[in-house]
Every structure is written in C-alpha cells, then in structure tokens.
Amino acid sequence: MSPKNKKVTYSSVLSARSKAACGIDESDKDNHLAAVEYVDDMYSFYKEVEKESQPKMHIQTKMNEKIRAILIDWLLEVHIKFELNLGTLYLTVNLDRFLSVKVVTKRELQLVGISVFQICRYFTFKRKIFKLQRPKVSAYKG
C-alpha cells in the first residue's frame, strides 16, 4: 500500500499529534512556575501507570490490539457524526473492562461496541434523554 493510499485513522492522527507535542514546553523553560524540569519525569510516570492500567485482554483469543483499535476508531467516528458528549466517548472506551472478562467473537464485536455506546449515552444524558432526538440503530450501519 503506497503512502498516498494509506487510510488515516483517528488513532494515527492522535499518535502524530503526540509526537508533534514533544518539546512543547520549550517556550516555558525560563518560567519557574511551569516546572518544565519535571515534564519528562511526569511523562515517564504516566506511561508506566498507563501500562499497569491497560486491560488484561488475554481472555480474547480471536481479537487483538489492531481489531480493538479499529472498533475504537469506528466508535469515534460515530461519536463525531452525532456530535455527542465527550463523557459518552470516555465511558464507551472503557468497554475493555467487559472485554477482559467475556470472550467476544469478531462478528459480535461491533454489536457489543454499539451496545456499550448506547448504554453510556443513556447514562451521560439521562437528565435530557427525553428532550434529545435519539438516533436509530440503523443509523450506525457503516
């Protein structure tokens, strides 16, 4: 696949932005209140904490990180299409907790993803749920 034909995913965009952010604190190096000397330590600490808190997906025999990334990219596209609350997206990505205890086939993965999405959407909008125009399930078909 040539670089021109490579599909751009939201994960790859976020990764590229993260790489571009390196050195972002250079303009604050003379500002003592910005604590720039601790930035590298903080990033190292958060990377270690992130490794420890990653879901234990060893139970999933038919799914790997790439398939999960495709699901998350698709859920992000749905989130953007319907202009939903960020809280809904944050809760939805937490579906790893479910995936770490229940085996899901590739065929069922999109259904599980959209079900978690709808449940999270309900809980983030439960006060306004009757005022909103709820999208039908058929609207999510790719």
Domain ranges of the chain: 10-53, 57-140
Would you state the structure tokens that stand for residue 66, as one six-digit string? 């790439």
Q: What is the pTM of this model?
A: 0.56
Contact (Cβ atoms closer than 8 angstroms) between residue 109 and residue 67 = yes
Task: Give, in degrees to the nearest 5, the angle at Cα 140 between 61 and 67.
Answer: 20
Class at the top of the CATH hierarchy for domain 57-140 = mainly alpha
Q: At which residue do the structure tokens 């993965």 appear?
A: 109
For residue 134, the model assigns a pLDDT of: 60
Q: Which of 61, 74, 63, 59 is nearest to 113 (CA)?
A: 74
pLDDT in tens, 23-70: 666 777 787 777 777 777 887 887 787 777 666 777 888 888 788 888
Distance CA 48, CA 39 (A): 14
- What token pair was written down for 67? 């398939």
